Amino acid sequence: MALDTARETDTMNTPVPSVRRRRGALTLLAAAAMLALAGCKGGDLVSYDLPAKSARYTFEAQTNDVKTVWQYTSAKATKDDAPKLSPCIGELVGSNQAACRPEPLIFLRYDFGLALDNTVKAGTDHEVTVVGYYQPRLADLPKVTSLEAETTFDGGRTWHPAATKATGKNTFTTTIRNPRRDQAPGGVGLRISATDNQGNTVRQTIPMAYTLR
């Protein structure tokens, strides 16, 4: 999923492609390939205008049973802040030639440390690695400064805090105390809450992260 902030819509109509449009055409195939590798489809591309005044926003998304809620501060873009291989969406699929940039959304990547049968041993402490990352940008990237984890063994009816520690740049490890298999027949769920040094946050709920054996 790519999420851009555009400054305004350019309504000028001219038969001569602008430099930015020619650049967008040249990078279209490369950008499409990168989006395809990232699992994005046409409906995943989101672009919108924001007012000039900085404000706090909430953005929610749900894929299958995984729910993600972002809160972040943003305002109208005054200059482009997008790499050549990941240009503004308006340059590729529309007439919006205004300045734009990716929004500072924290995305999460997991290493669940699963066995070959995609399970984890019951009744043991198990480590899960969580990495925070952002859409490609040209300006300074924020830094994820804190991460909290909760687990559920009953499908989300109750949640239990799990210990976490920073193990690298934007990287954290959480230790989950797995119960007996009969105490989590539907598997182990995970809820992650992360914050960066600009005050942006993300909360991602995975009802079933892995099953026990």
The dihedral sign for the CA sequence 88, 89, 90, 92: positive
Query: What are the two backbone dihedrals, phi and then psi, of residue 159, each rounded to the nearest 5 degrees?
Result: -125, 145
Residue with tokens 């873009």: 77
The pTM assigned to this predicted structure is 0.75
Strand 66-74, strand 107-111: pairing: unpaired
- Beta-strand ranges (E) seen in 16-120 are 45-49, 55-63, 66-74, 100-102, 107-111, 119-120
Could you count the other beta carbons within 10 Å of the beta carbon of residue 41?
9
The mean pLDDT of the chain is: 80
Q: What is the pLDDT of residues 172-213, one digit of tens each?
A: 999 999 999 999 999 999 999 999 999 999 999 999 999 999
Q: What is the pLDDT of residues 118-166, one digit of tens each?
A: 999 999 999 999 999 998 775 678 999 999 999 999 999 999 999 999 9
Distance of CA 177 to CAs 63, 156, 181, 206, Å? 27, 16, 12, 17
Q: Which of 118, 128, 181 is nearest to 151 (CA)?
A: 128
**Centroid of chain to Cα 178:** 27
